[in-house]
Amino acid sequence: MKIVTIVGARPQFIKAAAVSREIARHPDVTEIIVHTGQHFDKNMSDVFFEEMQIPTPRYHLNINSMNHGAMTGKMLEGIEPILLKEKPDFVMVYGDTNSTLAGALAAKKLHIRVVHVEAGLRSFNMQMPEEINRILTDRISDILCCPTDKAVENLKQEGFEHFPSKVIKTGDVMQDASLYYNTFSADKSAIINDLGLAGQDFTLCTIHRAENTDDPERLSGIFAALHEISLEMKVVLPLHPRTRKIAVTLGLIPELINSQLLIVPPVGYFDMIELLKNTRIVLTDSGGVQKEAFFFLKPCVTLRDETEWVELVDKGFNALAGAGKDKITNACSEMKGKQFDFNVDMYGSGRASKNIIEAITEHR
């Protein structure tokens, strides 16, 4: 059996690595990885793949820095001849990027079965390009690997019981990856000592979604909250240069930054794991980081008005705070004062990759 895996963003490589490790345990299954290049990253070198123990992609399309339509179309054009050459039994796609949709479309038009990992997630916000990508990918997928009960329920509500597809709750491959890399992240990262955080309480914050970074009012509210939080506890904020430039232009980052608000360049995956393991609380607008906070036993305040990971909110591990200063600071104070029992299995406890490969082999 042959599987072609389509990935294009750094988080997808980490998720795919978990599944690739499981595939390697099956000598009768061959995997070929295609990197679309959607998220161009100079750090995506051989060293990155070696350190992360990620199989090197056989094909690189180098498609990036385009508008959504042009990018998706170019990816379709690049993926199709690869599928015609390789003739896989399945094409596997992850999540909700343009690479996800392009891979699924290219496969479906060639009558190749599609496996969607992280199927069934919904924010119910059609202004998000990710929501459009995940809905369309789900609809044309043959095996839908859902990370949660809510994802399964979403597909049921959309009528998938009547479609010629298989919906399976597999658990979340991000938990598989987090558990695996946690075993040696401390050996790969010195960020806690480098930033002088050893033995200190600190808040970890990430901001990257366009709904926040491209909206001056929302970004101003978030930074106002971070400045206030930093008066009581150090805040570590890995910030993309583009977002930092916007913040400087808006006057949100003064020349002499309060030493308690520590703004650093984007960090690698091992550094992020160590920050998550050592932080007191997480503030983020990232879907992945919301879950990673839970995986590493930390409460989370989400800087959005909705989330796909509703079970975290329902169980009290996550609070939706939007982008208003008072709502964020109040949520942060409330979450810091709570006691949490993280001994809850919501994401498969590290068995998701195994469940995915079993589902594929059963429907080969």
Give yes or no on whether 2-172+348-362 and 185-336 have one common fold: yes
Q: What is the pLDDT of residue 258?
A: 58
> Which residues fall within 8 angstroms of residue 196, CB to CB, at 6 or more apart?
none
How far apart are the C-alpha atoms of 104 and 130, rounded to whole Å? 14
The CB density around residue 62, as the number of other CB atoms within 10 Å, is 11
**Per-domain residue ranges of the chain:** 2-172+348-362, 185-336
Q: What is the pLDDT of residue 257?
A: 54
In this prediction the pTM is: 0.91
Residue 157 tokens read as 């509500």
Tens-digit pLDDT profile for residues 151-163: 999 999 999 999 9
CATH 3.90.1300.10 fits domain 2-172+348-362: no
CATH superfamily of 185-336: Glycogen Phosphorylase B; (3.40.50.2000)
306: phi then psi, degrees, rounded to nearest 5: -155, 165
Q: What is the pLDDT of residue 52?
A: 83
Q: Which of 167-181, 246-260, 304-318 has the lowest mean pLDDT?
A: 246-260
Q: How confident is the model at residue 364 (pLDDT cuts 50, 70, 90)?
A: confident
> Which residues fall within 8 angstroms of residue 67, CB to CB, at 6 or more apart?
none
CB 71 within 8 A of CB 100: no
Active site residues: 208
Mean pLDDT of 50-64: 88
CB 91 within 8 A of CB 4: yes
Which residue type, as a one-letter code, is found at position 340? F
Q: What is the pLDDT of residue 51?
A: 78
Q: How confident is the model at residue 18 (pLDDT cuts 50, 70, 90)?
A: very high
Write the DSSP string, 284-338.
ES-HHHHHHHHHTT--EEESSS--S-HHHHHTTSEEE-TT-HHHHHHHHHHHHT-
98: pLDDT strictly greater than 80: yes
Q: How far separated are the first and last CA of the chain, in Å rounded? A: 8
Q: What is the pLDDT of residue 256?
A: 46
